[in-house]
């Protein structure tokens, strides 16, 4: 009996170690791929490898993906941006040993840091990833000292009141382009000072040794992480693999030598945001980092949009969505007649971004208005959408 017990214990230990090893490999492949074989760089031009190294990225395991090179597992660097890379600059030091870092390219050309995210139907139609995206956007928008303003634009709805050329980030399903154990990839800001414009999500990833897909909290963690890359944040734990001497690793003051709670750590694909306090970033140092890169301007304005159908039949009914989500925000909805149509109705004030069903009584031209109030910006702002009923 004693022998059986020892063997059973040994078996349990072995199984546990195998499970932990698999989870570690899985999470590394998600966002760092630190252990990928060096052979994957054999077919990459040495001059490209040198440029990537000069930018401060790991050169182990570089792969090609359409018009991008993939580094550190989940970061997309466009081939076009590398072709125009200028001579290296020296690292912008800020004193002391600090771990969180940003890229050289940050967002400056968007008015008041209003960033529009196009939500593809593939994400909008998946309840887990749709909820994760809403949660991630709320988290970034609710960071009190940051001026980042993310707006969700639903391209799955008939009309979203925004010129598609003004979309800054597209988030969509990877369409089976990522590996079976890769959760997501994102692009950094480019030298035109705009956000990284693409996030790919692998909705088919399953937790090792199970038949379970990622839950809401794990999905939210990954979306928060990838949005951070689009805003210019590096992996927090980059110093464990690279010396702090290369371009593209601009150290952020006020952050410590290690931060195990940072949402920007690499190798965290199975982390669960549900363990943290919504809608705060997982680490205070995450909030410090983003507020230093994009300090809040309380006098700046959110520029929101109303997503929803533009054309109705009389007495038809549909719902609408506001683009800006943040803690403490309320939405006041009103509909009026325009272009000769007589109509004025207050729909109500809500704390969620989606309206109840809204209809219009007769043919004519209407304007739907939504005033966004509260949150960290003191000035209410109103979005409008013209409706045609025929």
Taking only the tens place, the pLDDT of each residue in 135-176 is 999 999 999 999 999 999 886 554 545 556 688 999 999 999
- State the Cα torsion 8-14-19-22 to the nearest 10°: -160
pLDDT of residue 180: 83
More confident residue, 40 or 114: 114
Helix (H) or strand (E) holding 172: strand 169-173
Domains along the sequence of the chain with CATH: 88-293 (3.40.390.10), 306-389 (2.60.40)
The answer to whether residue 94 scores a pLDDT higher than 50 is: no
pLDDT at residue 314 greater than cutoff 50: yes
Model confidence band, residue 281 (pLDDT cutoffs 50, 70, 90): very high
Q: Are 182 and 74 in contact (CB under 8 A)?
A: yes
Average pLDDT over residues 313-317: 87
Residue 323 has pLDDT above 70, yes or no: yes
pLDDT at 239: 61
- pTM, to two decimals: 0.78
13-38 tens-digit pLDDT: 334 444 443 433 343 333 333 233 33
Q: What mean pLDDT comes out for the span 6-15?
A: 37
Q: What angle do CA 253, 267, 202 make, to 5 degrees?
A: 115
Long-range pairs of 122-129 with CB within 8 A, sequence gap ≥ 24: 122/172, 122/173, 122/175, 122/203, 123/171, 123/172, 123/173, 123/201, 124/154, 124/155, 124/156, 125/156, 126/173, 126/203, 128/203, 128/213, 128/214, 128/215, 128/216, 128/219, 129/201, 129/203, 129/219, 129/223
Output the pLDDT for position 56: 60
Span 329-375, pLDDT tens digits: 999 999 999 999 999 999 999 999 999 999 998 999 999 999 999 99
pLDDT in tens, 119-128: 888 998 899 9
């Amino acid at each position: 009996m004693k022998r059986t017990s020892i063997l059973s214990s040994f078996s349990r230990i072995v199984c546990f170690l195998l499970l932990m090893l698999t989870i570690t490999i899985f999470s590394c492949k998600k966002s760092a791929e630190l252990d990928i074989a060096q052979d994957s760089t054999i077919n990459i031009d040495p001059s490209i490898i040198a440029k990537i190294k000069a930018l401060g990225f790991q050169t182990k395991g570089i792969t090609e993906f359409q018009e991008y090179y993939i580094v550190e597992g989940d970061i997309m660097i466009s081939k076009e941006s590398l072709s125009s890379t200028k001579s290296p600059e020296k690292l912008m030091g800020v004193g002391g040993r600090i771990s969180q870092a940003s890229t050289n390219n940050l967002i400056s050309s968007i008015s008041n840091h209003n960033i529009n995210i196009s939500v593809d139907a593939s994400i909008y139609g998946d309840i887990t990833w749709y909820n994760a995206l809403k949660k991630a956007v709320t988290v970034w928008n609710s960071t009190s000292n940051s001026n980042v303003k993310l707006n969700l634009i639903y391209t799955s709805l008939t009309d979203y009141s925004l010129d598609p050329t003004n979309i800054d980030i597209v988030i969509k399903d990877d369409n089976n382009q990522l590996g079976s154990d890769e959760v997501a990839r994102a692009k950094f800001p480019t030298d035109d000072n705009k956000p990284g414009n693409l996030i790919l999500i692998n909705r088919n990833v399953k937790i090792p040794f199970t038949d379970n897909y990622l839950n809401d909290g794990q999905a939210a963690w990954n979306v928060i992480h990838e949005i951070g890359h689009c805003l210019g944040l590096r992996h927090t734990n980059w110093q464990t693999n690279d010396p702090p001497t290369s371009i593209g690793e601009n150290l952020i003051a006020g952050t410590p030598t290690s931060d195990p709670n940072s949402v920007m750590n690499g190798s965290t694909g199975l982390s669960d945001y549900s363990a943290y306090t919504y809608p705060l970033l997982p680490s205070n140092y995450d909030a410090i980092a983003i507020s230093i890169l994009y300090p809040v301007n309380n006098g700046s304005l959110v520029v929101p949009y109303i997503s929803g159908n533009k054309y109705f039949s009389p007495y038809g009914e549909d719902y609408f969505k506001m683009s800006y989500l943040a803690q403490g925000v309320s939405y006041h909805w009103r509909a009026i007649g325009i272009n000769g149509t007589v109509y004025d109705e207050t729909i109500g004030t809500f704390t969620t971004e989606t309206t109840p069903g809204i209809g219009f009584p007769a043919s004519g031209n209407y304007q739907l208005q939504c005033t966004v109030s509260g949150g960290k910006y003191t000035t209410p702002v109103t979005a409008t959408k013209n409706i045609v009923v025929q």
